[in-house]
Amino acid sequence: MRSTTLSLTLLSLLHLSAGQPHHHHAHRHHARKDPIPKRDKITVTDTAHTTTTEVPEVVVYVDQHNRPIRTATETVVYVPASAETPKAPAPTTTTTVFAPSLSSKVVPVEQSASSTSLSSNSSTFKHVSTFEPIPTPIRSKSSRTTSHPSASSLPSPPPSPPVSGGGALHGVTYSPYKGAGGCKSAADVDKDFALVAKDYGVIRLYGVDCDQVATAYAAAKKHGNKLFLGIFDINSVEQAVSTMAAGVNHDWSIVDTVSVGNELVNNGGATVSQSLAALSQARTALRAAGYQGPVVIVDTFVAILAHPELCDQSDYCAANIHPFFDPNTGAHQAGSFVTSIVGKIRSKLADKSKRIVVTETGWPWQGEANGAAVPGMDQQSAALSSIKSAYADNASDVILFTAFNDMWKKPAAATFMAEQFWGMGGRYSPVDE
């Protein structure tokens, strides 16, 4: 199937144009504070159907700047083009919707008091999404340069290096910050690794501050892990590569992947062309420093569906996917939600056989409910079990979020007061106990 961008004009969506992602501390999930009312039905004129058909769709609402606002599972009614009724004049505010097919199963038609009319300019459309992103380490941010080549002017990536992964263990994300503030020491990092190393293959970092590359390298070397390193500030690529090289003592064999940015396009921190330019710059600098492994851009799947070139130019596709931020997805559905999204991403890639790695996914064990997505220890266990089951045959293609509770973050209503409590099994780092 193909994806289609639809224009939705609704009086009830007038307030969405003001919705903007909130910028918080590093690696934080951003969510809209104001709830978006769920519609009974969305009607789509579709020439591919000969009879009126209803299916559940995961719809991503975005504002007039094409920034994701929220996702919701809606009932979408496909109406044959011949049955289309004249449209009444629409309000002036327009909101774009990505309407991904959740499944191909036709559901029974239910009566509804209201419906919304959409017009599709393509016979089929799909694409699932969750929307929320995840943070980035606390640090001062330099002003971003704007003199970057456009995406179309960038050279095609060289043949991909041997891809990473292939192990029997999942990966896990890790942050080197103390809940009370400041950086964890080498001893602190070693204690953390000692608790999780045996359960995970790759440990994902996000930046190069706090001497985290050197301390994680020593711990990974000791405990037998690989590292997924990250360049957080794409305005300091050369400096970050230099810090990485020194941090691993030029022993690149321990490095599984290097990422460039984290959800920058989704959060408005960089344009697509800026991200692609940084990717090219990082790949060149890393190759010169002796690293021959994968270099990727990490962004949310919403950003990737809208801009698949982020994956096409990367050595593999790296997407953050968080089922908890879909209010219609329960914990037991987390695995099927993630794999459904991965399938939609694959359909957008130039190379349909390209490796796709879920670089963040998980479930909080404490916080406020987001519709059907309810935090809790039992719910987290169910969600993680669902995700692991979905990736039983390719565990290394999913990185779980996160190793320990992030007590250095601040709770916020926008993220359901769950920001600090994504540590699997409710685990705290020894330094925060």
Q: Where on the phi/psi map is residue 210: left (φ > 0), alpha (ψ -120 to 50), or beta?
A: left
Better pLDDT: 77 or 331: 331
Q: What is the DSSP letter of 370?
A: B
Asked if 147 contacts 24 with a C-beta cutoff of 8 angstroms, the reply is: no
Cβ neighbours of 380 (radius 10 Å): 25
Q: Dihedral through CA 127, CA 132, CA 137, CA 141, nearest 10?
A: 80
Measured N-to-C along each axis, helices 186-196 and 212-223 cross at an angle, to the nearest 10 degrees, of: 40
The Cα–Cα gap between 381 and 344 comes to 26
Cβ neighbours of 220 (radius 10 Å): 23
**Mean pLDDT on 150-157:** 43
**Mean pLDDT on 319-338:** 97
Least confident stretch, 31-35, 293-297, 403-407: 31-35
pLDDT given for residue 50 in this prediction = 73
The Cα–Cα gap between 297 and 4 comes to 24
pLDDT given for residue 414 in this prediction = 86
Please, which pLDDT band fits residue 251 given cuts at 50, 70 and 90?
A: very high
Active site residues per annotation: 360
Asked if 199 contacts 169 with a C-beta cutoff of 8 angstroms, the reply is: yes
Kindly tell me if the per-residue pLDDT of 96 is higher than 70. no
User: Is the pTM of the predicted complex or chain greater than 0.75?
Assistant: no
**Mean pLDDT on 168-186:** 96
Q: How far is CA 244 from CA 83, 155, 249, 262, in A?
A: 61, 25, 8, 17
Least confident stretch, 165-169, 192-196, 401-405: 165-169
Please, which pLDDT band fits residue 54 given cuts at 50, 70 and 90?
A: confident
Asked if 233 contacts 240 with a C-beta cutoff of 8 angstroms, the reply is: yes
**Mean pLDDT on 392-410:** 97
**Three-point CA angle 67, 317, 324, nearest 5°:** 55
Task: Find the length of the chain.
Answer: 433
With 0-12 / 13-18 / 19 or more C-beta atoms within 10 angstroms meaning exposed / middle / buried, residue 88 is exposed
Average pLDDT over the chain reads: 77
